Structure 1
């Protein structure tokens, strides 16, 4: 079966960067680009028929225009429309096509995390059977530096494997947030400080061992750096993104736990970079 990259095309100006990224990824990975536009199912039948033809023609024009703008080769492509609820149709099509990847544009309501949960992007992330990329930067901004928050759970291991498989030439930074009980109460104590430093050294040694084992599973070992930062994982990640945004953030998704939901909403509402979200399996 042909490997496919499913691109959700809404024809908006904000979607243009994502379209360019979808073309590039399809060409680089040798997958077919399936560009999908979801129509309002409540329109009259004749209006749907006429609109479908106009939308496909516009997608063809955009595909040619973006390729010429960025000197991109022509991918194997399939441009289609379906009628229905956008997030439902995108997820359904991803299942039916056994999509290797779903790519969408960014969330438009910037700075409003409370509005993210009901968006097409957030709903697709929750229900997608494959990794989902939200692309906001033009294809000229290559994904050279990729940030992967890690706690070495099974979910994070899977995300790291997906990142290594898809972007073997990139530079990876693994970010681990740590915290030790008693820091607030005993941080000024010399004995506590020595114990904490020893624990931190042991943690780094364990994490480096985990990284070495994972690297043994891949053919090409990329340039990789492990960073340990003290603090709450959400705040550590947000601070890192504001201070030094990567080209791509590879994020693990564990479902709708409260902390996970807050993290996803904040990142989608305040995007500092393109984001790839991987499920736990």
Structure 2
């Protein structure tokens, strides 16, 4: 069965980066790309047929234009317009085609987290049956440096597996934000500093052991770096992104599928790189 990726477009100029990344990913991973645009169901019926033809022609021309601009190879692509609620139709398409990936452009209300809640983007993230990539940057090259935030139980296990399977040639950085009790009160004491060093070393050993177990039976394991930094996940991840500029951040959900954590919302509202969200299982 042919692998299928779904790219949903709203036809805006902001979607060009997402369209280009979808083309690159589909070709690199030997997948068919289903390009989907959802028409407003409240438009007059006599306009829909003409509009559907115009949209299909526009998408076809954009596809050709993007391929030429970024020298991209062409995967097998299918263009489709449907009528309905955008997030419902995108998720429906992913289910019907048993899609392995959904690709979306970044939401235009950047820097305004309070406006993200009811967007098509957030609704798709909460309902999608497969990983979702949210694209911020034009894909001048394949993702080379991928950041994966992890917790002390490596809840991003499935996320790491997805990265290993999909991007075997990329450098992977696993980033863990740690905090310890008593830091504020005792952080300057020598005995506390020694205890903190021992605890962080123990945490590193535990995480390293889990990572080794995950990759030990794989051929051609990419470069994997484990980084531990003190602080809250939001602070640590945002600081790391600003200092090291990874191409992609891959997030996993620990509770409900695609639960939009504070960190996820922070990365979507102030995007500095592309983002991929994966189910925890």
Q: Provide TM-score, normalisation by structure 1.
A: 0.96
Q: Tell me what 1:109 maps to.
A: 109
Q: Tell me what 2:238 maps to.
A: 238
**Residues 82-93 of structure 1 mapped to structure 2, 5 A cutoff:** 82-93=82-93
Kept after mapping to 2: 8 A contact 1:17/1:135? yes
Distance 1:66 1:207, change over 3 A: same
Q: Tell me what 1:60 maps to.
A: 60
**Residues 216-235 of structure 1 mapped to structure 2, 5 A cutoff:** 216-235=216-235
Distance 1:183 1:215, change over 3 A: same
Instruction: Out of 160-169 and 132-141, give the one that drifted further.
Output: 132-141
**Residues 1-281 of structure 1 mapped to structure 2, 5 A cutoff:** 1-151=1-151, 153=153, 155-254=155-254, 260-281=260-281
- Find the aligned partners of 2:260 and 2:230 in 1 and give their Cα distance: 19
Local SS of the residue matching 2:33:
strand
* Shift in Å, 1:255: 5.0
Local SS of the residue matching 1:265:
helix
- Find the aligned partners of 1:94 and 1:152 in 2 and give their Cα distance: 32
- Find the aligned partners of 1:265 and 1:41 in 2 and give their Cα distance: 29
Q: Which segments of 5 or more consecutive residues in structure 2 lack a partner in the other structure? A: none
- Find the aligned partners of 1:265 and 1:255 in 2 and give their Cα distance: 16
Kept after mapping to 1: 8 A contact 2:18/2:136? yes
* Shift in Å, 1:275: 0.5
Q: Which segments of 5 or more consecutive residues in structure 1 lack a partner in the other structure? A: none
- Find the aligned partners of 2:61 and 2:166 in 1 and give their Cα distance: 29
Kept after mapping to 1: 8 A contact 2:152/2:203? no
- Find the aligned partners of 1:96 and 1:260 in 2 and give their Cα distance: 24
Q: Deviation string for 1:63-104 (max 9, x for gaps)?
A: 111111112122101000001111111011111110010000
Q: Deviation string for 1:241-276 (max 9, x for gaps)?
A: 22222000011123569x953222211110010001
Kept after mapping to 1: 8 A contact 2:154/2:207? no
- Find the aligned partners of 1:138 and 1:112 in 2 and give their Cα distance: 22
After superposing on structure 2, the runs of 4+ consecutive aligned residues of structure 1 that deviate more than 3 Å are 152-155, 254-257
- Find the aligned partners of 1:118 and 1:75 in 2 and give their Cα distance: 33
Q: Provide TM-score, normalisation by structure 2.
A: 0.96
Local SS of the residue matching 1:206:
helix
- Find the aligned partners of 2:32 and 2:158 in 1 and give their Cα distance: 24
Local SS of the residue matching 1:62:
helix
- Find the aligned partners of 1:152 and 1:277 in 2 and give their Cα distance: 19
Kept after mapping to 2: 8 A contact 1:103/1:133? yes
- Find the aligned partners of 1:260 and 1:71 in 2 and give their Cα distance: 35
Local SS of the residue matching 2:24:
helix
* Shift in Å, 1:153: 4.0
Instruction: Out of 171-180 and 183-192, give the one that drifted further.
Output: 183-192
Local SS of the residue matching 1:225:
strand
Kept after mapping to 2: 8 A contact 1:248/1:275? yes
